Amino acid sequence: MDSIIVKGNGPLNGDIPIAGAKNACLTLMPATLLSEEPLTLTNAPRLSDIRTMTQLLQSLGAEVTSLQDGQVLAMSSHDLTSQRAEYDIVRKMRASILVLGPLLARYGYAEVSLPGGCAIGARPVDLHLKALEAMGAELDLRDGYVHAKAPSGGLRGGVVDFAFASVGATENALLAATLAKGTTVLNNAAREPEIVDLADCLRKMGAQIDGDGTSTITIQGVDRLGGATHRVVTDRIELGTYMLAPAICGGEVTCLGGRLSLVESFVEKLELAGVSVTETDKGLTVARKNGRIKAVDVTTEPFPGFPTDLQAQMMALLCTAEGTSVLEEKIFENRFMHAPELMRMGAQIDVSGGTAKVTGVEKLRGAPVMATDLRASVSLILAGLAAEGETKVSRVYHLDRGYEHVVRKLRNVGAEIERVKGE
């Protein structure tokens, strides 16, 4: 397996381009299943997860063509050959479950394997299923698959009351409801920018959607959807990750394409820690103020709160802060697996249940560490950028799921980093 070797090399300076959002693109791609007409996505990130979703759509009979070095995805589902999403593909990625709603809405039947993904908690799909049941779907879970059948005449509008604001379940319900007969109301819906981006794309295809970005979304079903061309929104998690690089190492970096509206709660914590963030026409310029980073407390919450997908990276920053920080993880119950690896580098972290207490040290030390999931992998790279000596991060295949050209982007702003092929 490949590894990434990082050496602490002082301040970082320059520009880092931010890609389109992985989580938005993975939600937008299944929208092609709702229409016979072409759907084209621009600003697509070039990631292994995108290739996995491409493989899944193609297995159903969709045409997916990658153009302009992978940044444009031209898709067509005019003649699907299957409504069964096989385990061998679905197991690789959680977002695969998002084909369920579109297949059921358009064809009235779907078989989708229960999904896989990073090992960061149970993340059950029950909310997805309850939402579809509220639209009249009959569901049967057997042999590791969800067997879903719409009532005669197709899905019908209904009221969906989410027990909590699940992003994936909101997306699946939104996709399905566009072709349901009548009006569907999603209560306690997730408010993430990726959901707003999905709604924008679906409206271009002819869907009637109101309230996206709020906790109540209303969808008036239509008989058919058309084609569209849509630009994928900027990846706020990649944005926040690279904003932390100069915060940890010093220097000044502009994250091209970044917008404050995508990361407001995250920026609030950075500024409390002693990091300057300025919005310009180019993006967000980040610089660490004079002196050592200050400790801050962080609690992960659904958008617009602090993102769980930036918790590991924020912990890397706080490992060298002045004072003690408390990080509380309220989204996923098993998301501190990076803490023992950071402790190998000299960090002082005490984990108890869903809370981690981080007492800052003056300097981390390079060490061999192992990535346990996507965000943990990049947190270890960030820690290595500011550590004394060399850090070797193993199992970086996780990284390829969510960050394109991470070595190139960091090297271009002065980092000493390389990827080493495994034997």
Q: Give the catalytic positions in this structure.
A: 118
309 annotated ligand binder: yes
23 annotated ligand binder: yes
Question: Treating both helix axes as pointing N-terminal to C-terminal, what angle do 167-177 and 100-107 enclose, rounded to 10 degrees?
Answer: 20
DSSP state of 43: S
Helices (H), 214-282: 236-249, 264-273
Dist. CA 149–CA 151, nearest whole Å: 7
Q: Which two tokens stand for residue 44?
A: 């697509």
127 annotated ligand binder: yes
Q: Which two tokens stand for residue 413?
A: 């702003």
124 annotated ligand binder: yes
| Residue 278 CB neighbour total at 10 angstroms | 12
Residues in a beta bridge with 20: 234
Count of residues making up the chain: 423
Q: Which two tokens stand for residue 385?
A: 């950028």
CB 127 within 8 A of CB 163: yes
Place of tokens 């899905």: 155
126 annotated ligand binder: yes
Sign for the CA dihedral angle at 324, 330, 334, 338 comes to negative
Helix/strand/coil percent split, the chain, to 5: 35, 30, 35
Dist. CA 417–CA 403, nearest whole Å: 15
AA letter at 336: F
Side by side, which strands form the sheet with 208-210? 159-161, 183-187, 216-220, 208-210
Question: Residue 34: is it exposed, middle or buried by C-beta count within 10 angstroms (0-12/13-18/19+)?
Answer: buried
Q: Give kind and range of the element (H or E) at residue 420.
A: strand 416-420
The pair phi, psi for residue 305, each rounded to 5°, is -75, -175
Return binding residues for phosphoenolpyruvate.
22-23
Return binding residues for UDP-N-acetyl-alpha-D-glucosamine.
94, 123-127, 309, 331
Return binding residues.
22-23, 94, 123-127, 309, 331
